Amino acid sequence: MFFQKDIETMPRSEIEALQLARLKAQVKYCIDNVPFYNKRLTEAGVTADKIKTLSDIQYIPYTTKADIRDNYPYGLFAVPMKKIVRIHASSGTTGKPTVVGYTRNDINIWSDCVARLCAAVGVNDNDVAQISFGYGLFTGALGLHYGLEKLGCAVIPISSGNTKKQAMILKDFGTTVLISTPSYAMYMSEVAHECGISNDELKLRIGLFGSEGCTPALRDKIEQGFGLFSTDNYGMSELMGPGVSGECEYRCGLHFAEDHFLPEIINSETGDVLPHGEKGELVITTLTKEGIPMLRYRTKDITRIHYDTCKCGRTHARMEKVQGRSDDMLKIRGVNVFPSQIEDVMANIEGISPHYELILTRKNYTDYLEVRIEINDERLLESFSDLERLQKEAVDKLKTVLGIQAKVTLVAPRSIQRYEGKAKRIIDNRTDEA
C-alpha cells in the first residue's frame, strides 16, 4: 500500500502550518532564482517575510499561461538545464506550446502524488496497469507510469490508439487497472465486446480516468461496460501533470496533494478570492516545485473546494469535479485546443477569410472537430484543384499546430454568420451517447 498516512490524515492546523512554511520558502526560491518572479514580486512589494499567514498569499500577483508563453521556452525555469531531467509541454493559446521542466526531486514528488491517488482507490503491487494515454510531451502517460511503478504495479506502456490491439492486450495480459481518458475507456469497452471479448475473460477491476471531464452517466456506462470501479483524477502540465488531485474510493471530491499544492478559488472576472465552499476559478500555488515553480497559477478550471474530513479519513481538501472553464479552451480527444490557435492558422493561409466556425461532435465516444472556413474569393469556387489545394493546406497546418486531425469544410464567401457582439464560433454538439 502507498497510503502516506502521516501526511494524508494530518490535522488541518498542521497542514496549514506546513503549507505556510513551504509557501514562504517557495516565494523566496522564486525571488532568488527566477528573474520574472523577482521583478513581479519586487514590484508588488512581496518578500517571503511579508507572508505571515496563508491569507497573505493575496499579495502575490497571479501567474497565467501567457506568462509562461512570454518566457518561452525555458524563461521561468528556476534551475540550470543541468538539473532538469525531464521536459513536457502542452498546447498554448498560440502556435507555441507551454513548456515545463522537472528536476529529479520533482519527478520523485510527482511519482508520490500519483502513487497516492492510485493507492486511494486500492491499486497495489499485484496489479497489472495498462496505460492508454498517449506517451509524449503530454504528461498523462509518463505521470501515471512513474506513480504506478512506484506502487510496484506491472506497467504496460501501450500508449493510445490501435484499439483492437488494446482490447487484445487487456485480455491476454490480464490487465487489472486501465488508465485513459473516460471517452477512450468507453470506446475501448465497445471495441472489446465487438471483438467477442466478454467481461468474464477480463481481470479489469479499476479504471483511473482523467484529463477530461466525465459525467456520472458516462462513468456508469464505462463501469457497466467493463465491470470495473473507476475514479477521476485531475491535473495540468503547468503545475505537474496528473497528481494534483484525485478521488478516493468514496468519490466525494478529488483530494488535493495539499502538502505540495495550495489551492484557492477566485472570481475569474474580478480576481477576488472567494470564501471557502464557493464556486469559481481554481488557482494553485506549487509549494515544493524546483524546476518551474508556479505562484498563484490561474488554471481557468471552475470548481468548488471542501475542507471537511472525508469518510476515508484523509484530511486533504477536495475539489468537486471540474464544472467548466473560464476561458474558451476545448478538450478534444484529450488534447487542449484554443480557438485562437485555429485563428492563427487561418490568418496564415492565403485565400481564406478570418470567418470560421468550429463544430464539435462525438461518435463512438470520440470527439471530432470540423472547421468550417470561408474562402475570400468567389472565383475560387470555379477551380476544384485550387479548392482542393487550399483544403489540404488547412488540414495539414491544423494538424501541425493542434496535434489532432480536423475535418476542413470550405464554404462560400459571406456564408458564415456575422455577429455584432461577441462571435459565437463554437458549436458544441457533443453529448454522451444513449
Alpha-carbon dihedral angle through residues 71, 72, 74, 75, given to the nearest 10 degrees: -10
CB of 358 to ligand DLL, least distance (A): 17
Note whether 139 binds ligand DLL by CB under 6 A: yes
Comparison of 84 and 337: residue with beta carbon closer to ligand DLL:
337
Comparison of 265 and 322: residue with beta carbon closer to ligand DLL:
322
Task: Report cis status (omega within 30 of 0) of the bond before 73.
Answer: yes
Note whether 280 binds ligand DLL by CB under 6 A: no
Query: Judged by CB under 6 A, which of 299, 303, 315, 341 binds ligand DLL?
Result: 299
Note whether 147 binds ligand DLL by CB under 6 A: no
**H/E segment holding residue 57:** none
Note whether 322 binds ligand DLL by CB under 6 A: yes
Alpha-carbon torsion 217, 221, 227, 228, what sign? negative
Alpha-carbon dihedral angle through residues 259, 265, 270, 275, given to the nearest 10 degrees: -110
CB of 223 to ligand DLL, least distance (A): 16
Query: Judged by CB under 6 A, which of 90, 93, 111, 315 binds ligand DLL?
Result: 90
Cβ–Cβ < 8 Å for 173, 157: no
CB of 83 to ligand DLL, least distance (A): 23
Q: Hey, which residues between 186 and 205 contact ligand DLL (CB under 6 A)?
A: none
Rounded Cα–Cα distance for residues 23 and 16 (Å): 10
Comparison of 8 and 301: residue with beta carbon closer to ligand DLL:
301
**Residue number closest to ligand DLL, CB atom:** 210
What mask of x and - would describe binding to ligand DLL in positions 218 to 247, judged by CB under 6 A? --------------xxxxxx---xx-----
CB of 77 to ligand DLL, least distance (A): 17
- 201 SS3 class: helix
| 307 Cβ neighbours under 8 A, 6+ residues apart | 12, 276, 317
CB of 90 to ligand DLL, least distance (A): 4
Query: Judged by CB under 6 A, which of 212, 247, 258, 357 binds ligand DLL?
Result: 212
Rounded Cα–Cα distance for residues 184 and 163 (Å): 9
Per DSSP, what are the bridge partners of residue 370? 359, 407
Taking every pair of Cα atoms in the chain, the longest distance, rounded to a whole number of angstroms, is 73
Comparison of 40 and 65: residue with beta carbon closer to ligand DLL:
65
Query: Judged by CB under 6 A, which of 132, 160, 183, 211 binds ligand DLL?
Result: 211
Cβ–Cβ < 8 Å for 57, 296: yes
Comparison of 366 and 391: residue with beta carbon closer to ligand DLL:
366
- The span from the first CA to the last CA of the chain, in angstroms, equals 38
Rounded Cα–Cα distance for residues 2 and 87 (Å): 26
Rounded Cα–Cα distance for residues 245 and 310 (Å): 14
Binding site for ligand DLL (CB under 6 A): 90, 138-140, 210-213, 232-237, 241-242, 299, 301, 322, 325, 331, 336
